[in-house]
Structure formats: structure tokens, C-alpha cells
Amino acid sequence: MPRRVRVEFDGAVYHVMARGNERREVFRNDSDRLRLLETLAEMVERFGTRLHAYCLMPNHYHLLVETPRANLSQSLAWLQTTYTVRFNRRHRRSGHLFQGRFQAQLVDAEEYGRWLVRYVHYNPVRPRDRHSPIPPERKADLEAYRWSSHRVYAGLERPPVWLCDEWLRLWGRTRKEAQREYRLEMAAGFGKPVSSPWDQLRGGLVLGSENLWQRARRLMGGKAADEEVRWTKSEGAEDTRARVKRLLDGERDARVQIWARVRLGGERGRRVAAEFGYGTAAA
């Protein structure tokens, strides 16, 4: 089966979802869920991504991710590989944990961010039948659910340092005003079906304006969304790498050079390893 296109550019925003292999559980207990959150925190620091919202379900997860460095594939591949290794070690198993590559839709945050945050956060209480309303009695379940960013948006807990909560501005000018409006909006959804944003998806890839869709088409170079992936070049990423190299001019410690180029410049570990004579990125 062809691999779906990934459109990447500086500052792009995505809805990311990945399921367990054969729809099996990817979280067997709370320790597994905590381990994924720890791995997400590492991803944010390592790749400079911004995580705006998340929800962990028994056999899949949802993320709303922004990539200032145009490195979605690199970031998510590292996340899933790292978590799989940790999960397998913990449960003494081997093999794939996730069902193929993650799914990612390019999103216009200004137009659809508010809708997507609600959609992601309703997951723990949403009926399997998408046309069925959310039972009103499940409101308490949502308020108590620990494994999403809902409680942060609702003002029920402080955000962890790795979660970017700047999208609260979509609900109000001040933090308290935004949290109050968010709570009212979420409460109003009970007793109604959850409207799906995917009905407005363009080309199976873009949730956004005509301008965003046309930009994605240009970056795809005429390829259809279900054809072999064609990575896009990021001018901003190239500029960042050049600036990091200038910063390292005269630095003799190879360890410092490697760390800065991978962590700050976003270069692939394999490429830097080869340049310094190492056989693998892990080395």
C-alpha cells in the first residue's frame, strides 16, 4: 500500500492519531500512560515541537502538534519508536506496537483549533456511534479523566511545562475568561452528537481554508494524498542549522557540536553520526 503524503513546513499544525496494531491496547495500565506522557515531554524538548492538546485512549492516542522546525515525521517516528521500546521492555514482549505509521491531517489552527480541541477532549465520553449524543450523566467522567489536556483547558489543574496552552486565547482574552468559556462550551455538548471535523477534510489531508489547501498542493508537487511520500524542504530549518553551525565555530568539543546540531539545529542523528565517524546514530 502506498504511504500517505506528509506535508511539512515551518509552523505547520497537525492533528495526529495512531492506533495499536490490530487495534490492541497500547496502554495496559496507568504506568504505561505516564510513560507516554514522559516520552511526549522528551519529544517536545528534543525536537522543539509544541503540543497543544492530547488525549490517550486504551488503543490509540490523539495529539494536536505544531512543528516550528518542519519536523513532524522525525518527531513522531522518534516518539512511537521510543515508546514501543519502553513498552516492550516493560511487558516483556517484542514486535510492532502501533498499526503502521501515524495519521496526520494538516490543520488551520485559527479556523479549526477550537473545534479540534473539543473533538479530541470528548473522546473518553463519546459514544462509538458517531450519530449518538453524549450521555449527560458522563460529564463527571470527563471532568475526572486524567489522561487528556481537558483538565488544563478547564482550569482544573496547572499545565505541565511540556504542554503549550496558548490556544486558550481561542476562547477568551484572559486566562480565567477563556477557561470559563471553554467549560461552558464543553458542557453544552452533552446530550448532543459530537460533530466531526473530518467531514470538511480537503483531499483527505487538509482541514482548513482554500489557501492552506492550495499551499499543501504546491508542496506535494502534484502528487495525490495517497501516493508515495514526498518530503518538503524547510527554508526555516536550513537557516536554523546554519545559525547553529556559526554558533559552534571554533568549538573543539565534538560532544558539544553533536548535541547542538541534533538538539538545537534539528539535524538527523544518523547524518551527524556519519560525519563524526560513528557507525550509528545511537553510537
pLDDT tens digits, 5-33: 678 999 999 999 999 998 899 999 999 99
- Please check whether residue 282 lies inside any domain of the structure: no
Pair (209, 249) in one structural domain: no
What is the rounded average pLDDT of the residues 40-67?
A: 97
Pair (70, 203) in one structural domain: yes
Pair (112, 205) in one structural domain: yes
Pair (111, 201) in one structural domain: yes
Alpha-carbon distance 197 to 104, whole Å? 14
What percent of the chain lies above the pLDDT cut of 70? 83
Q: CB atoms < 10 A from the CB of 194, how many? A: 18
Pair (255, 153) in one structural domain: no
pLDDT tens digits, 103-155: 999 999 999 999 999 999 999 999 989 899 999 999 999 999 999 999 999 99
Domain final position from 196, 220, 244: 220
Say if residues 262 and 272 touch (Cβ distance below 8 Å).
yes
* Predicted local distance difference test score (pLDDT) of residue 247: 76
- Full domain range(s) for residue 260: 235-275
Helical ranges in 59-161 per DSSP H: 72-91, 109-121, 139-144, 150-153
In terms of Cβ atoms closer than 10 Å to its own Cβ (0-12, 13-18, 19+), residue 130 is exposed
Q: What is the pTM of this model?
A: 0.81
Pair (119, 171) in one structural domain: yes
Cross-strand pairs, 20: 98
- Please check whether residue 4 lies inside any domain of the structure: no
- Please check whether residue 30 lies inside any domain of the structure: yes
More confident residue, 247 or 58: 58
More confident residue, 54 or 203: 54
pLDDT tens digits, 231-266: 344 445 566 667 667 776 777 777 777 766 666 666
If you ran DSSP here, which 8-state letter would residue 123 be given?
T
What is the rounded average pLDDT of the residues 152-164?
A: 97
